[in-house]
Copies of this chain bind each other. A is one copy, B any other.
Amino acid sequence: MKAYISENKDRFFEELFSLLRIPSISAKAENKPDMYACAQRLCDLLMEAGADEASLYETAGNPVVFGSRILDPSFKTVLVYGHYDVQPAEPLEKWNTDPFEPVIHDDAIWGRGANDDKGQLFMHIKAFEYMLRSGKLHHNVKFLFEGEEETGSPSLPEWISRNREMLKADICLVSDTTMISESVPSINCGMRGLSYLEVKVTGPNKDLHSGHYGGAVANPITVLCEMIASLTDSDGRITVPGFYDKVVELSAEDRALLAKAPFDLEEYKKFLDIGDVRGEKGYTTLERTGIRPCLDVCGIWGGYTGEGAKTVLPSEAHAKISMRLVPDQSSSEITRLFAEHFRNIAPRYVKVEVKECEGGDGFLIPIGSDAYKAASQAIKDVYGIEPVPSRGGGSIAVLAEVQKILGIDPLLMGFGLERDTIHSPNESYLLKQFFGGMESIARFYELF
């Protein structure tokens, strides 16, 4: 595949950039037309790469792209999953280049979606194209690209249920995760689930003059801060009743295995420029993000946030709160427990509203399977190092559903790196990983 890449590199960039230029932000209603444009562009790219068919399928939300090449019914079938929607680009002022005008510099592609997940799903289209054109493909390949991953895949499970037959496969291959580092390749063997909610605290029915009322009327921002502060105790444990009931403690043996992954705490703190890490007592940093649940405030707002000093006691305060869950926790149950708890702790001088935003369960992947072994060998062949199994802290909501509905395991061959800062300004994707990923995927087809 190496030679094919160097012959076709410029075309690859052109094709990928045509996807990256489309601001397919699933969180924003105004970008609805972009979702269709991006899905259509993907269909075209699949057909050009050699698919028999590729079409848009309507859902309750954004369209699903499905394409396939069936070479021989007796061949093993690989279902490739990816998502063409991206995170919002805000805060825009922190980008060094236009998030939707991709550029290449410093050996990387820069732009929103360069890695997550347009860059990574694109590797699969090109590995497929190469295998097919070089006559080496001995698999049936199906492509499933959704446009709602960043908002929790609300429509996809239902669509998968309705199209079970069409999606039949032996394995669900996904590149939407990271490796531990450039020199430490890894394969993700588990991801966290997610519960995401928006809360609103209302104090007085209108914004008030903070001089006339300050001291006598509860300030909803202060109350929201107190409520948020109370959600974690001094040991860094989440105080929502029942939150840990389903969390299974890993055995000492499993923890020892995970501890083998190389990790340098000083490097980590330096990379983030933080004085110290902070998390649940009794766990290491890798455990805190890999095998333990957590709670984060993703956004907060209320009152006057403009220039200068407005003396106001505001009527409302809002926050977006996400919880990352371990595989044994149920997202819908945790969402319910959180909402109940948040309403219960509201003091009598405010009103509280809780809105469910998105969610999905975590999952685990067996590392003894043929598919895992083939992926491990493929990466070893390309990188020269055997990849270590790791546990990712992120969530791909729909993969637990794929496991349940289609009865097949996901296989997470992700080639992102920490330095890519996905979800943040200046998202990038190292060319070495972009091409190394394509080679590894092509090699996987040879070995599986």
Binding site for B on A (CB under 8 A): 26-29, 87-88, 90-91, 94, 150-152, 178, 191-192, 194, 196, 198, 203-219, 221-222, 224-226, 228-230, 232, 272-280, 285, 288-289, 292-314, 317-320, 322, 324, 347-351, 357-358, 392-395, 418, 421-425
Contact = CB atoms under 8 A, between A and B. Distances in A.
Contacts of A394: 209, 211-212
A302 B300 contact: yes
Given A212-B178, A272-B208, A322-B214, A222 B310 contact: no
B424 A289 contact: no
A91 to B, nearest CB: 7
Nearest to A285: B216
A279 B213 CA distance: 10
A324 B210 contact: yes
Nearest to A207: B424
B425 A207 contact: yes
Nearest to A236: B215
Contacts of A306: 27-28, 88, 90
Nearest to A198: B309
A277 B219 CA distance: 10
A357 B304 contact: no
Contact of A28 (B27, B90, B296, B307): B307
Number of copies: 2
B349 A278 contact: yes
A88 B272 CA distance: 37
A216 B320 CA distance: 19
Contact of A294 (B214, B280, B423): B214
Contact of A87 (B310, B313, B358, B421): B310
A278 B347 CA distance: 10
Contacts of A424: 206-209, 312
Nearest to A316: B91
Given A298-B312, A306-B27, A393 B214 contact: yes
Given A226-B229, A320-B304, A274 B217 contact: yes
Contacts of A27: 306-310
Contacts of A285: 216
Nearest to A204: B272
A207 B305 CA distance: 19
Contacts of A151: 308-309
Contacts of A212: 178, 289, 392-394, 418
Contact of A211 (B292, B299, B309, B395): B395
